[in-house]
Amino acid sequence: MKILGIETSCDETAAAVVEDGTRILSNQIASQVEIHARYGGIVPEVASRQHILSIIPIIEQAMAEAEVTWRDLAGIAVTIGPGLAGSLLVGVNVAKVVALARGLPITGVNHLEGHIYANWLADHNIDFPLVCLIVSGGHSDLVLMRGHGDYVVLGRTRDDAAGEAFDKAARILGLGYPGGPAIEQAARAGTASIQLPRAWLKGSSDFSFSGVKTALLRLVDGGKVSSVADAAASFQEAVIDVLVAKAVAVAKEHRVKQILLAGGVASNELLRDWLVKNSPLPVLVPEPVLCTDNAAMIAACGYYRLQAGKTDGLDLDVVPSLKMT
């Protein structure tokens, strides 16, 4: 069963064809990073205009690479949220038009759920129940997953998301955008020698990353940072320390079989290594290109939704503030 996935929630226009929820036949991504880098962050108006220009060519490329025609497809999966309203609208409307014209079933996918399903695209043996740590630009969620489409949110960020904290720290350190890869790169030349606070929020599985960011800002403003590399390494460790400890604690508490990592921040090598080293349970992580935004993960999630009979009508709409429930 071949599904076309469409993803336009933020600054990547992406289309992919995935077979049976696990086999990637194509995975095309048109990144807008260079356009937004000029402004130091994503400009929503610019993002939606760029999606309009890229969406049709990207779908055509994805179908050509997968060597499929519309007749070979069993359905369309499209991100409905969370994300930028204007960006989401482009993907959802194109998906609806195609579904209507070609008589294909359509399913709306939660972008965060999509991130989790990137793990089904790797050569993983996934076993429920599991805990998934989703760390992206807008979210840091700890989710208990008991089966396909069955989630319980155990913890989430109370302020900045992990990726957002990386992006803000990079701006404070003058490292540019996007911040996560820039911090990781800078940290390679430094040591984590600067003491930065960790918000443990005892008794809770929630996260908070605004304190560590503010502490970094104070040090930089006070002229107390002599090495950007050391500051980047110290910041990276402070964030990852908390992410790993909380994910492992929650997994033990709920006696799950595995820990899954997902979202853009999951492409961070230190996070991947520390989680593997500190977890008594198997840790599954998708390859970096499947951690950041892509449409293959949306198609994979869409496959399981369609299998469960979760189709949507042509009244399908965007939900910019959609959460994991």
Residues that bind ligand KG4 (CB under 6 A): 10, 136-138, 163-164, 166-167, 178-181, 184, 263-265, 267-268, 292-293
Name the residue nearer to Zn ion (CB basis): 28 or 136.
136
Shortest distance in whole angstroms from residue 32 CB to ligand KG4: 12
Q: How far is CA 232 from CA 144, 163, 172, 220, 264, in A?
A: 31, 14, 10, 12, 18
Contact partner at residue 179 from ligand KG4, Zn ion, none, CB < 5 to 8 Å by partner kind: ligand KG4
Cis peptide preceding 282, ω within 30 of 0 = no
Tokens 């077979």, residue located: 19
Shortest distance in whole angstroms from residue 207 CB to ligand KG4: 14
Contact partner at residue 167 from Zn ion, ligand KG4, none, CB < 5 to 8 Å by partner kind: ligand KG4
Q: Does 293 bind Zn ion (CB under 5 A)?
A: yes
Name the residue nearer to Zn ion (CB basis): 3 or 291.
291
Shortest distance in whole angstroms from residue 18 CB to Zn ion: 17
Q: Does 113 bind Zn ion (CB under 5 A)?
A: no
Give the single-character DSSP code of 122.
S
Kindly state the helix (H) or strand (E) to which residue 59 belongs, with its residue range: helix 44-66
Pairing of β 12-19 and β 23-31? antiparallel
Helix, strand, coil tally for the chain in percent (to 5): 45, 20, 35
Name the residue nearer to Zn ion (CB basis): 13 or 136.
136
Name the residue nearer to ligand KG4 (CB basis): 144 or 162.
162
**Token pair of 118 as six digits:** 């990137």
Q: Which residues bind Zn ion (CB under 5 A)?
A: 136, 293
